[in-house]
């Protein structure tokens, strides 16, 4: 059963159950979900002629989610676009994806025909049979050149992840699920399709709440949220800038995180604040969704592993010399094959070819991430292939330096970058956000330098430490690393 079919099947069997509670507290039943989705799917078939991609350009809301489901039910593919994106980026995606229609919640002028959300009129039409290898949706992510690239996700890809996640982290009809991440990110795939297929109630966290820790804590508490899936930056802010550690969130039974590394100190503080909740680290690029997972047994004191491969993901480590390791202790780039892997980048055969490699007659996706597999088969992420830099003749993993800087109690967030240097090859810079304001940043810098010198080889100690009030973030809540070099230059 495809992901949208499972949701609609649940809706037909439990029409009186609550599917959504919107921002204002209004409840929307599964029966209403089924009626809106079926009606809108018929309208989409009529409007598009049964072909093409449909853009979803709307704030996170029940109507937007029902628009996504209706698009799938109509046998079409959807392209979620951040409604706050600059018009140039938004219009590029609309053109690049060849969208024939946009579902909108607003009056912005777009270069394609639009249809408002939700569609209230009941229309009848015979909906198509959708194939497992048909495109389900395309997610756009920023490319290294600054041009967005579309990652095509088929129904096979989506089903591979959703079916695994439903087994590994099942949800129940009585679960209250917070949808924290924006809809143009891959994290909500779990919340929406596992949650709605299970008959759970979804609470779509408004943006005005998602980015303000105390407001988010109040939302989680008042809604009695039992499940939360978010990026570490958001969870770190929840620990450092809300009353979570004093008040807790008693209804929370599970927290999942993904998208970037979660430093041990704030992660441990989070686990101590909600000791009744299971916490798990999920890893995988947008091209594969989740391919490894690791459930924590206790608050960590060191870097957390990314764990073991999930069902159906065939992971191997590719060494610098081209050697392939499938088991045992080894180090190399993570490459993955299986139903989870996106077939291509939309309209980018060059990028698709560069990111794939044939091994043993099978096509693997190159993640660009370097990992170490220990003797027990557990994977430990070392960092990006392009995050391994040379300085003073040594190879340094920037993530390792970040991990050490981040162990200082005065550091709330940290990012380390390398600046090309004619003598040293690269000079390391650490950009930190303190846990609280300091009258004299120079004293904090001195403490951090001593901290690093006590714990790192001399060549790994950052040449400069820059103190900022906050780190730049992407629209999905992760650290916007591409903006860091300009910030470093501005603080000199």
Q: Which domains does the chain have, with CATH numbers?
A: 3-204 (3.40.50.12780), 392-490 (3.30.300.30)
Beta bridge partners of 379: 307, 373
pTM, entire model: 0.87
Per-residue pLDDT of 388-403, as tens digits, reads: 787 887 778 888 899 8
Strand pairing report for 292-295 and 254-257: unpaired
231: its two tokens: 């990026």
The per-residue pLDDT for range 107-139, each reduced to its tens digit, is 678 999 999 887 555 666 678 999 999 999 999
DSSP letter at 460 equals: G
CA distance 401 to 238: 24
CA 198-135-333 angle, 5° bins: 85
More confident residue, 336 or 320: 336
Average pLDDT, the chain: 92
CB atoms within 10 A of CB 465: 25
Tokens of 66: 């029902």
Burial of 239 (0-12, 13-18, 19+ CB in 10 A): buried
Q: Which residue(s) pair with 79 in the sheet?
A: 55
Pure H helices in 74-124:
87-96
Q: How confident is the model at residue 106 (pLDDT cuts 50, 70, 90)?
A: confident
Structure confidence by residue, pLDDT tens digits, 270-296: 999 999 999 999 999 999 999 999 999
Q: Is the pLDDT of residue 57 over 80?
A: yes
Scanning 183-301, the segments in alpha helix (DSSP H) are: 188-189, 195-197, 207-210, 213-222, 232-240, 244-247, 264-273
pLDDT number for residue 474? 87
Based on its alpha-carbon atoms, the radius of gyration of the chain, rounded to whole angstroms, reads 23
Residue 287 CA to residue 348 CA, distance in Å, equals 14
pLDDT digits (tens, 9 = 90+) for 328-379: 999 999 999 999 999 999 999 999 999 999 999 999 999 999 999 999 999 9
Please list, in sequence order, all residues whose beta carbon lies within 8 angstroms of the beta carbon of residue 424, skipping any fewer than 6 positions away. 391, 392
Pair 54, 76: CB distance under 8 Å: yes
The model's confidence at residue 148, banded by pLDDT at 50, 70 and 90, is confident
Percent of the chain at pLDDT exceeding 70: 97
- Nearest partner of 78 among 106, 37, 35, 108, judged by Cα: 37
With CA atoms as reference, report the closest residue to 118 among 76, 185, 187, 65: 65
pLDDT of residue 423: 74
């Amino acid at each position: 059963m495809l992901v949208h079919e499972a949701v609609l099947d649940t809706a037909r069997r439990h029409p009186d159950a609550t599917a959504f509670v919107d921002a204002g507290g209004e409840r929307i039943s599964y029966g209403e979900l089924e009626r809106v989705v079926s009606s809108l799917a018929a309208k989409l078939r009529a409007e598009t002629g049964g072909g093409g991609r449909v853009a979803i350009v709307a704030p996170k809301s029940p109507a937007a989610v029902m628009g996504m489901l209706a698009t799938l039910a109509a046998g079409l593919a959807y392209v979620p676009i951040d409604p706050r994106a600059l018009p140039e980026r938004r219009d590029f995606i609309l053109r690049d994806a060849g969208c024939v229609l946009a579902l909108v919640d607003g009056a912005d002028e777009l270069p394609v025909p639009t249809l408002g959300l939700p569609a209230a009129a009941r229309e009848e039409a015979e909906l198509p049979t959708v194939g497992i290898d048909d495109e389900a949706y395309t997610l756009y992510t920023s490319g290294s050149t600054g041009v967005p690239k579309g990652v095509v996700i088929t129904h096979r890809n989506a089903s591979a992840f959703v079916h695994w996640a439903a087994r590994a982290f099942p949800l129940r009809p009585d679960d209250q699920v917070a949808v924290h991440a924006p809809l143009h990110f891959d994290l909500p795939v779990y919340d929406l399709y596992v949650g709605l297929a299970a008959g759970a109630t979804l609470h779509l966290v408004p943006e005005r709440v998602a980015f303000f820790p105390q407001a988010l804590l109040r939302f989680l508490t008042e809604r009695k949220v039992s499940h939360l899936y978010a990026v570490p930056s958001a969870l770190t802010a929840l620990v450092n800038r809300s009353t979570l550690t004093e008040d807790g969130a008693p209804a929370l039974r599970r927290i999942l995180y993904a998208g970037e590394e979660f430093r041990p100190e704030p992660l441990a503080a989070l686990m101590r604040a909600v000791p009744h909740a299971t916490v798990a680290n999920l890893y995988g690029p947008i091209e594969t969704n989740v391919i490894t997972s690791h459930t924590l047994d206790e608050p960590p004191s060191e870097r957390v592993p990314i764990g073991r491969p999930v069902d159906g993901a065939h992971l191997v480590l590719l060494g610098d010399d081209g050697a392939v390791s499938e088991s045992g202790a080894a180090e190399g780039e993570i490459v993955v094959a299986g139903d989870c892997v996106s077939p291509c980048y939309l309209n980018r055969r060059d990028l698709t070819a560069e990111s794939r490699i044939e091994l043993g007659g099978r096509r693997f996706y190159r993640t660009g991430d370097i990992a170490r597999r220990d003797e027990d088969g557990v994977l430990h992420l070392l960092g990006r292939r392009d995050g391994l830099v040379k300085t003073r003749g040594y190879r340094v993993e920037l993530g390792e330096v970040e991990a050490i800087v981040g162990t200082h109690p005065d550091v709330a967030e940290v990012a380390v970058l390398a600046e090309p240097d004619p003598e040293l090859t690269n000079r390391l810079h650490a950009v930190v956000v303190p846990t609280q304001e300091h009258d004299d940043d120079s004293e904090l810098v001195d403490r951090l330098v001593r901290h690093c010198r006590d714990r790192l080889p001399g060549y790994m100690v950052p040449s400069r430490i820059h103190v900022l009030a906050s780190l730049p973030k992407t629209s999905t809540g992760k650290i916007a690393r591409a903006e860091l070099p300009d910030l470093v230059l501005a603080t000199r």
